[in-house]
Each structure stands twice: as C-alpha cells, then as structure tokens.
Homo-oligomer: A and B are copies of this chain.
Amino acid sequence: MNFSSKLLENAVNEVAQLPGIGKRTALRMVLHLLKQPKSQTHNLANSLSNLVDNIKLCKKCHNISDVDVCDICANPSRNEEIICVVEDVRDVMAIENTSQFKGLYHVLGGKISPIEGVGPQNLTIESLIEKVKLGTIKEVIFALSSTIEGDTTNFYIFKQLEKLQIKTSTIARGIAVGDELQYADEITLGRSILNRIPFDKSF
C-alpha cells in the first residue's frame, strides 16, 4: 500500500497490529476516525494509554482490577472456601453473569501450552498452591476450556493439589441447554451419559 501521508501510514500500521485486523480494515477504521470529531480519537487514545499505565492485577486472585484487591475478593459475602480456577478475565465475567457462583476466583493468566511457549512458571499456579496451603480453602473447581491445553493445565494443578488432600471438581461437560441431541458430537454426548445426574437435581 502506498500512502499519501506518513501520519496515515503510521496510524494504519499500528492499528493493523491488533488481532484479526488487516491493513485494509485498519485503513477503514482510521479513515472513520478522521471523519469523527477529534475528541473521539483522543478519548480512544487516552483510554488505552490510561489502561496500560494504571491497570493492576488483584493481589489475591490475579484478575484485572483498578485497585490492589478486586471487588470480588474484597466482598465479605463471598464464600472464601471455594476457589474457581479460570484462564482470564473473560471467564470470570462469563461465570459472574450466571449468578450461580458465590465463591472466589483464581485467574491463571493463560493455559499451559508448549507450542506458544507458555509453561507452568508463566501462570499463577504457584500462588494458587500457596493459597491452598494456608488451609482456608475447602474446594477447588477447575473451569478451564475443554481443550488439550486446558486439560493439561487442569491435570498439572490437580497433581500438585493431590498431596494437599483437598476436594477438587471440574465444571460439568454435556449437551448445552437448548441443543438437539442429533447434532451433538459423540465425545460430549458420551461423557454426558457416563456422568448422568439424578433427574431431580437437573433443575
């Protein structure tokens, strides 16, 4: 692409580094910004700079937060005996939206993935084990994605927790509510039959 302006070229190149954005889409976005009031672009630029300069990770659960201890960890009505292990802030948001979990979270910051160069030392696993050793926690729930990387991470943490004799569980895998059986994949369907639950508990 030959740009008529260095300023335009720089902006497009920077925007094109965002995930899923190519040069053409970046150009469309930048030209859109040029048609809006300058204040919109300044707000965008400031909000991004502010975010990376001032964001903190909660000291307890490692979730993204504005303060040292996040709202969930600081809430006295949450049950600190149950810890739900998740990958990142999006999973916390998804589970919070269900209103079904009243315990605390532990955000790993990723999954063990040798291909992407992420080992156990890059995640907050050590801090989770230390937390469990303090003795308050009664149960650890694994809520990672059902992928090779997620299962590996679950298993790695499970092996460390085994010696501490603590209750561990994983979120149920099965047919999604509203899904039709005929379209379900056989592994999910197979597991949902093996792990069937008493009918009166399914509401």
Docked CA distance A64–B51 (Å) = 30
Binds B, one of A20-28, A157-165, A180-188: A20-28
Chain B residues positioned under 8 Å from A5 (CB to CB): 55, 64-66
Q: A61: nearest residue on chain B (CB-CB)?
A: B4
Chain B residues positioned under 8 Å from A89 (CB to CB): 4, 8, 31
Question: Chain A: residues with CB nearer than 8 A to chain B?
Answer: 1-8, 10-11, 13-15, 17-21, 25, 27-34, 38, 40-55, 58, 63-66, 70-72, 88-90, 92-93, 96-97
If A4-B89, A6-B66 are given as contacts, then 12 extra A-B residue pairs at C-beta distance below 8 Å, sorted by A number, are: A2-B96, A5-B64, A7-B47, A7-B51, A8-B64, A18-B29, A19-B32, A30-B48, A31-B88, A31-B89, A38-B52, A41-B49
For A19, give its contact among B29, B48, B65 (CB under 8 Å): B29
Q: A97: nearest residue on chain B (CB-CB)?
A: B2
CB atoms of B44 and A14 under 8 A apart = yes
Known A-B contacts A4-B71, A4-B92, A44-B15; A10 and B65 likewise in contact (beta carbons under 8 Å): no
CB atoms of B55 and A8 under 8 A apart = yes
Q: A54: nearest residue on chain B (CB-CB)?
A: B7
Q: A26: nearest residue on chain B (CB-CB)?
A: B18
Docked CA distance A58–B8 (Å) = 14
CB atoms of B11 and A33 under 8 A apart = no
